[in-house]
């Protein structure tokens, strides 16, 4: 007997295929669901975490990348940038903190934004972060910060980089805020001078101490993270200290005091990463798409800097 094809009754719509039915059901179920916000984290207002930025939260010196981005925008010449970063690297190599050297660094640290509106530099900073810094954030360190946030604790960056740039980094990472070097501003315009000192060494500890007093933090319950022995004042101020990608001196101190050490570098990368010196960055990278030529006598010094992982002073 020949097979008779199925005929749909007149007036009855064809059924949608199973895949389409599942899609419709899923959308209907989602639309009908009562949605509330994500579970709130119970706040822990007395505890907090403080993270250094350069070579701790991000690979390299944030101020170098900031200056490089500004050079690309013709705020100053590549020669100016080479002179600026070499001065900083030379300072770190010599380890000389004479009053004359510190005065020179203070005067040059933010001279390249003198006369510029704060809003203009902030906008440039946001663009530069996205272009040059976002991909240099250490994923492991970012996870450490997130653990504090998940525990209901606040997280601040503490860095010698300008506070406006530090805030941008903190905002992009979803952190609480930032403590950074404060530039003098008059009528919304940078004067090129600093308010007090750069946020370096003891100044970081003073900033953390002042913030703790203002926010009601119990420093014995706070945690500090850094890669550099320069930050020992901040590290020893908090109840818990963690060495992240530590330099030789800090690694030794951490070992002697039983501090946790977290190193997210591997192999040769540990010796080279993070723009350990501005001079090495100049030799390797160049500014605004072109290489900066470093004189032969400086080239040998730059190699030594890279091998010894000398750090910049804007820490």
At residue 29, what are phi and psi to the nearest 5 degrees?
-65, -40
How many Cβ atoms sit within 10 Å of the Cβ of residue 83? 12
Which of the following is catalytic: 17, 44, 52, 135? 52
Distance CA 63, CA 232 (A): 21
Rounded Cα gap, residues 229 and 248, in angstroms: 8
Please list, in sequence order, all residues whose beta carbon lies within 8 angstroms of the beta carbon of residue 112, skipping any fewer than 6 positions away.
67, 70, 75, 76, 80, 84
Check: CB of residue 54 under 8 Å from CB of residue 158. Answer: no
Q: Is 54 a catalytic residue?
A: yes
Catalytic residue (choose from 17, 44, 54, 231): 54
247 is catalytic: no
Distance in angstroms (rounded) separating the CA atoms of residues 93 and 86: 10
Specify burial of residue 158 (Cβ count, 10 A radius: 0-12, 13-18, 19+). buried
Report CA torsion sign: 188, 201, 111, 194: positive
List active site positions. 52, 54
């Amino acid at each position: 007997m020949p097979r008779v094809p199925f005929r749909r009754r007149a007036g009855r719509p064809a059924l949608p295929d199973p895949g389409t039915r599942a899609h419709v059901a899923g959308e209907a179920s989602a639309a009908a669901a009562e949605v509330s916000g994500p579970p709130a984290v119970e706040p822990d207002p007395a505890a907090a975490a403080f993270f250094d930025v350069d070579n701790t939260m991000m690979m390299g010196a944030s101020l170098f990348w900031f200056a490089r981005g500004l050079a690309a925008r013709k705020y100053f010449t590549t020669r100016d940038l080479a002179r600026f970063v070499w001065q900083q690297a030379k300072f770190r190599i010599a380890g000389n903190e004479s009053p004359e050297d510190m005065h020179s660094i203070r005067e040059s640290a933010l001279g390249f934004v003198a006369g510029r509106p704060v809003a203009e530099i902030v906008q440039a900073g946001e663009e530069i972060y996205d272009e040059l810094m976002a991909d240099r954030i250490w994923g492991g360190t970012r996870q450490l910060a997130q653990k504090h946030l998940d525990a209901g604790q606040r997280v601040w960056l503490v860095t010698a980089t300008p506070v406006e740039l530090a805030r941008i980094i903190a905002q992009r990472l979803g952190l609480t805020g930032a403590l950074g070097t404060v530039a003098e501003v008059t009528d919304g315009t940078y004067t090129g001078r600093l308010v007090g000192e750069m946020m370096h060494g003891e100044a970081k500890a003073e900033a953390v101490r002042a913030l703790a007093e203002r926010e009601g933090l119990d420093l014995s319950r706070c945690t500090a993270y850094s890669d550099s022995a320069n930050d020992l004042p901040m590290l020893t101020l908090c109840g818990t200290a963690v060495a992240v990608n530590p330099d030789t001196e800090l690694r030794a101190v951490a070992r002697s005091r039983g501090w946790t050490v977290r190193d997210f570098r591997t192999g040769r990368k540990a010796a080279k990463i993070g723009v350990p010196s501005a001079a090495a960055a100049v030799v390797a990278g160049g500014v605004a798409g072109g290489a900066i030529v470093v004189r032969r006598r400086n080239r040998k010094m730059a190699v030594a800097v890279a091998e010894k992982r000398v750090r910049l002073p804007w820490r």
